[in-house]
Structure 1
Amino acid sequence: MLSPTTLAGLAALASTAQAAVNSTPCPLVNAGLPAPSLLSTVGASYIKDAINSTDLQFLAAANGLIPYGTYESNTTAFAVEVYSVASGESLYTFSFNPPGLADTHTVGVTNIASDTVFRLGSVSKLWTTYVFLIAVGDRSWNDPITDYVPELASLVAAENNIADSVDHVDWSSVTVGSLASQLGGIARDAAYNAGLQSALGSVGVPNAGGFNHSTCGDTRLMIPCNRTAFFEDFPQQRPIFESYVSPAYSNAAFQILAYALENMTGSTMPELFDKHLVQQLNLTGTFYTVPPDNVTANGMIPYNTTYSWWNADALDEAPAGGFYSTLDDMRKVGTAMLQSTQLSPLQTRRWLKPHSFLTNPNAAVGAPWEIMRAPDSPGAPVSWMYTKAGDLGMYSSMVALLPELRLGFNVLSAGTDTTNTVRIVSDILSNTWVPRVRAAALAEAEQNYAGQYADAATNSSLTVVADSSQPGLSVTEWTYGGLSVLDLLGQLEGANASLSQKVIMNLYPSGLKQAAASGNETSVGWRATFQVLPAPLDQGPFSANCIAWEVVSQLVYGGVALDEFLFTIDADGKAVSLSPRVLEQTQTRSASSSSSSLSSKRSTRRMGAMERRRGQK
């Protein structure tokens, strides 16, 4: 066991440790607090507040009273659902049925329900990638696409030595993963656009490329109808970038990805879609292509099936934008993704990561995630929403997953102003629900973890607080053998007593757990950060560097890191003890703190007041 004298001696490490420690407080990413699972009890007030606020903002948006913009409320329908995987609840559903569509539509529903069918547009790309990962995993993602698509291999062989060419795509350098993450550097769509040819040709612009006809297929979608026609058409276009230079959105990339998957599995893409999604998840309102006539009556179809693009068959480009689904089915798919029911947890974690930056510092690109920074809450660490938007004809959609909160929401829209509507609705949902679910997580963490932990035999204790102004859990007091461990750590971190500096200690869940030695208890892993406040002014990019991730487990004694902690929780998820593993002791929980719940309620009231002010003109 580590003695107080030895612990004090660790201060001698200050000369080496201090140089690597930035005093700017910063949390560990993707490790805020455990996702809340008691939203109907502990978090009920936050959920009720979110529901009321969302309802009011949807009404205000139709009248131009919120800063996100105004959607067209007469001829644009939308439906939303917010759900929690951790609690197994659908938290909120809402649908808007515009009067203008009810008066003019000729087929389909006039009142949206959770099983009403919409077109998904480019959300199809997300589901295509998901089917790919279920069927064959991501081992092939660094392989050239020419390994799996013989037409492209033949093209490379015929063109010979085209590396660095501005006129020809070097398909041998385009990988499977680059296509899934929009980094292939290839063109967006087919080589022929009838509408653009008509517009430019009518004013005398010459046809530089020579393509002057549609190879076949539905001209509304600008696509060829089959594999043979696609490879006659699409490769005529020049590259945009070399692969892995810069994201460039491509629908054709997912058509090629589907062809590769068919070659890998020996099954057609519709067969794989049906096997891995529809059948395994019991999706009753989801379709790979234009649904049969008996489904049309249950579709949201503005005006008619042609004008709305309901019946525009995406054919071989269906993997890029042709799928149909419902709120019920989209929740099932999102839940399966967050719960890793069809992929391994490791595969899911690999997939839910960015692949490239964007110009917007609050956004990134995944495979094919459109990753957005989640709304900030006081004291909360930066977290990310993994989203995918879709647009096709008179339809728009949005999928959003927040792995840290195990939260998801979906938006479906049909009508004349769908892209704008989905954007506004998604802004409302994220800015309303994320802070409140975080507040619910804090309240639940307080109930489950906050309090004093003590070991009388060694005269040692820790006080754990759930504080809305701090990320993770805060440790406000830690003594061992009567000595203040935080003061000793302050010496290690370079705290200056004359400036009243002290160590701020925060705990973050690692996601690691194992069965405890007794009964139905579980040991869950947490890691600590030790930071000195106040922080100096950040004058440049290197001064502002947040390096908490660089110093995890930096201070190790006897093979055990000072920042390693284990909570033992009971069957109800409540902590019964806490073990600072470097001390090889167990401290028993004796009391809880109520200070953070007051702070959380104040935070919620502030959020409500801010929204009321935003709604005033």
Structure 2
Amino acid sequence: MWTKRTAAVLAVAATVLAGPNCPPLGPVFEKPYNFNTSSAMQSAIANLTAMLTAWDQNNSSAIRSNTTSYSIEVFSTSRDQPLVFSWHHTAASLLAPPTNSSNNNGTSRRVGVAKTDANTVYRLGSLTKVFTVYTWLAQDGDTKWNDPITRYVPELAAAAERAKQEADPVANVPWDEVTVGALAGQLSGAIRDYGLMGEVSQEFDRSQAVGLGFPPLSKEDPMLPPCGQWPQCNRTEFFSGLLRAYPSFAPFTTPAYTNTGFQILAYALESIKGKSFESMMQESLLQPLRLKHTYYRNAPAEEGIIPGNNPSKAEWAYQLGDESPAGNMYSSVSDISALGRSILASTLLPPVLTRRWLKPAVMSSELIAGVGYPWGIRRISLPSYGANGKRVVDAFNKAGRIGYYSSLLVLLPDYDAGFTVLIAGEDIPGNANFNLADVVGAALVPALEAAAREQAEAKFAGDYVGDAVGGSSSLKLTTQSDRPGLGIENWVSNGTDMQTIAVVLQGGYAPVNPSIRLYPAGLETVRKDGSRKVAFKAVLEDLNLPARDPAQSMFSTDCGTWVSFTGVTYGTQPLDQFVFEVDARGAVVSIENLALRAVMKKRR
């Protein structure tokens, strides 16, 4: 609370910044676009090139490069440089002359491409799920995501009624409690697959299964899938078997990966729109984005990479039937990058829908991990700020694996950038896609942050001077390599030290060690002439407050600034809101504090 005593000690302020800054969630600078001129990005690309060169030459166990081919692209939404980095490695075994396939004349011939490039087609596996959710959002938005799935799938509506009559939650999924969003966010509690992947009775004959320790099953056993890998289940067979299966969890208990959920999502969207799911994907995604090397099913082998020169063993032609929305697709690294750019740039969706999509559905049992629609989410802590700032970058990824193929798409919304990894090999290490992601991410993410800071320093840093009501106003903006955001220094209004006043008013006590830093608010007005109005939010902090050790602080925190935004207003306008005026060339003209009604022009 503001008191006379508080006013009396306003002049007492520390001069040394010692505590950590706590920015809001999201980018701490404007998103970078100056990749060609950024020294940090150029250094990262050089380091990444050296690392991948060494991997390719040494047959590292992390990728087994002699038998594994892969393609990588780092992309951004920048019009000047949408492709930031690319790398293509062709396995030595693929480069060797083919020996195990013959044409009609009996001579050996190659199946598929001889060398990988940006348009080489790989199988995607579960990366397909991004296409499935994207198709739903492009076709119908997310307004139905809280609706029960039983509203759109009659088989599940009937099952929900039977479950109520049986009153046995252990044995029955309560489908009327499962929403559309629960299926997309892996929260349905239903089983992972029916009859297709992981079903021992499909992968081994009965004697082999018994030898593995399983009891014999008769052909008449109702739990024995009559379909799955071959022949594949039709819709009737799928639901007949799925609805006999016990649930894994109650809905909304924990994320539990399911492929069945995405098959059901496709059925539901077909019911809503009255069209085939494949045709909706074509009209919503593949055609408008011009994804010429992306296939929902049956990609031509001549465009693909075929490990071992054997399409059958590689499972190139194997199709998942009605479970295709969960993992059947094919694509190239250039097309997946184009897909990622379209998501980040909201090419096909309203920006607010994209922002909702790129948020967690649920956290997982790992502190730095969550689950989205259908994303895996990693919370990356940037060490560059050390003890001076808490900065978390959320990465949204989707991985996949099928046959001899592995894939990964990573989106970094804080930078409007991401990267794609596609892999093909006869003996891919189980975590190869993430092994490559660790290498790319370690070089890329800190460099993107540094590039954004370099850009902010060149664009925003400097002295701003203007006339306030009753006197002059001024401030200085800086960036610091060890602190996030734009720092406000020497903020004066009507001859008063506003830096100290603002922090004291916010906290209600004094003395303070004031720190004010600006972060993008995601609010921007673009005028017809190309000039812009861009809002930034200030975080008003007292750096004298003690840092908290999470191991010793179960509930208290030193990073709770999200509760204090717009905590001080004057005539309804916030003291912590600043608006930049930017001309059509992208140069900053002025800054305005809304509460003080003070426009300060940037000195040139």
Q: What TM-score range do you get, normalising by the shorter chain?
A: 0.7 to 0.9
Alpha-carbon separation, structure 1, partners of 2:148 and 2:92: 51
1:614 is aligned to none
Measured at CA, do residues 123 and 519 of structure 1 come closer, stay the same or move farther in structure 2, by a change above 3 Å? closer
Select between 501-510 and 161-170 the one with higher mean Cα deviation. Answer: 161-170
Measured at CA, do residues 332 and 557 of structure 1 come closer, stay the same or move farther in structure 2, by a change above 3 Å? same
1:155 to 156, 159, 164: 159
Identity rate of aligned residues, in percent? 34
1:49 is aligned to 43
CA contact (8 A) 2:63 2:432 kept: yes
- State the secondary structure of the residue aligned to 1:347: helix
1:183 aligns with 2:194: no
2:303 is aligned to 298
Q: Which amino acid aligns with 1:30?
A: G
Alpha-carbon separation, structure 1, partners of 2:568 and 2:510: 20
**Which string of whole-angstrom CA distances, capped at 9 and with x for unpartnered residues, describes residues 115-165 of structure 1?**
110000000011100101111111111111111111111222344435561
Alpha-carbon separation, structure 2, partners of 1:491 and 1:545: 17
2:241 is aligned to 233
Select between 224-233 and 390-399 the one with higher mean Cα deviation. Answer: 224-233
Measured at CA, do residues 306 and 281 of structure 1 come closer, stay the same or move farther in structure 2, by a change above 3 Å? same
How far is the alpha carbon of 1:570 from its aligned partner? 1.1
- State the secondary structure of the residue aligned to 1:437: helix
Select between 426-435 and 83-92 the one with higher mean Cα deviation. Answer: 83-92
1:224 aligns with 2:232: yes
Alpha-carbon separation, structure 2, partners of 1:186 and 1:520: 51
CA contact (8 A) 1:145 1:176 kept: yes
1:78 to 58, 70, 81: 70
Alpha-carbon separation, structure 1, partners of 2:47 and 2:316: 33
**Which string of whole-angstrom CA distances, capped at 9 and with x for unpartnered residues, describes residues 234-260 of structure 1?**
222100111100000001110111111
CA contact (8 A) 2:529 2:584 kept: no
Select between 453-462 and 274-283 the one with higher mean Cα deviation. Answer: 453-462
Alpha-carbon separation, structure 1, partners of 2:557 and 2:403: 45
How far is the alpha carbon of 1:207 from its aligned partner? 4.8
CA contact (8 A) 1:14 1:491 kept: no
1:98 aligns with 2:91: yes
CA contact (8 A) 2:467 2:599 kept: no
CA contact (8 A) 2:362 2:371 kept: yes
2:437 to 426, 444, 452: 426
1:359 is aligned to 365
1:205 is aligned to 214
Q: Which amino acid aligns with 1:524?
A: V
Which runs of structure 2 are paired with 1:431-470 in the superposition (5 Å)? Answer: 431-455=442-466, 458-470=471-483
1:527 aligns with 2:537: yes
How far is the alpha carbon of 1:185 from its aligned partner? 0.1
CA contact (8 A) 1:116 1:300 kept: yes
Measured at CA, do residues 226 and 265 of structure 1 come closer, stay the same or move farther in structure 2, by a change above 3 Å? same
Which runs of structure 2 are paired with 1:393-404 in the superposition (5 Å)? Answer: 393-404=403-414
2:261 is aligned to 253
How far is the alpha carbon of 1:90 from its aligned partner? 0.2
- State the secondary structure of the residue aligned to 1:489: helix
CA contact (8 A) 2:69 2:90 kept: yes
How far is the alpha carbon of 1:352 from its aligned partner? 0.5
Q: Which amino acid aligns with 1:505?
A: I
Measured at CA, do residues 323 and 252 of structure 1 come closer, stay the same or move farther in structure 2, by a change above 3 Å? same
How far is the alpha carbon of 1:366 from its aligned partner? 0.4
Q: Which amino acid aligns with 2:457?
A: E
- State the secondary structure of the residue aligned to 1:435: helix
TM-score by length of 1: 0.86
Measured at CA, do residues 418 and 79 of structure 1 come closer, stay the same or move farther in structure 2, by a change above 3 Å? farther
Alpha-carbon separation, structure 2, partners of 1:123 and 1:258: 15
1:385 aligns with 2:379: no
Measured at CA, do residues 326 and 479 of structure 1 come closer, stay the same or move farther in structure 2, by a change above 3 Å? same
Alpha-carbon separation, structure 2, partners of 1:212 and 1:174: 23
CA contact (8 A) 2:547 2:558 kept: no
Measured at CA, do residues 454 and 8 of structure 1 come closer, stay the same or move farther in structure 2, by a change above 3 Å? farther
Q: Which amino acid aligns with 1:383?
A: V
Alpha-carbon separation, structure 2, partners of 1:574 and 1:247: 46
Alpha-carbon separation, structure 2, partners of 1:557 and 1:413: 57
How far is the alpha carbon of 1:487 from its aligned partner? 2.4
How far is the alpha carbon of 1:384 from its aligned partner? 0.4
1:33 aligns with 2:14: no
How far is the alpha carbon of 1:169 from its aligned partner? 1.2
TM-score by length of 2: 0.88
1:609 is aligned to none
CA contact (8 A) 1:25 1:532 kept: no
2:420 is aligned to 410
Q: Which amino acid aligns with 2:497?
A: S
Alpha-carbon separation, structure 2, partners of 1:475 and 1:175: 47
Measured at CA, do residues 92 and 226 of structure 1 come closer, stay the same or move farther in structure 2, by a change above 3 Å? same
- State the secondary structure of the residue aligned to 1:307: helix
How far is the alpha carbon of 1:8 from its aligned partner? 11
Alpha-carbon separation, structure 2, partners of 1:203 and 1:9: 80
**Which string of whole-angstrom CA distances, capped at 9 and with x for unpartnered residues, describes residues 195-219 of structure 1?**
2564432356325793575533534
Alpha-carbon separation, structure 2, partners of 1:8 and 1:480: 21
CA contact (8 A) 2:146 2:180 kept: yes
Measured at CA, do residues 212 and 347 of structure 1 come closer, stay the same or move farther in structure 2, by a change above 3 Å? closer
Alpha-carbon separation, structure 2, partners of 1:211 and 1:14: 80
Q: CA RMSD in A?
A: 2.6
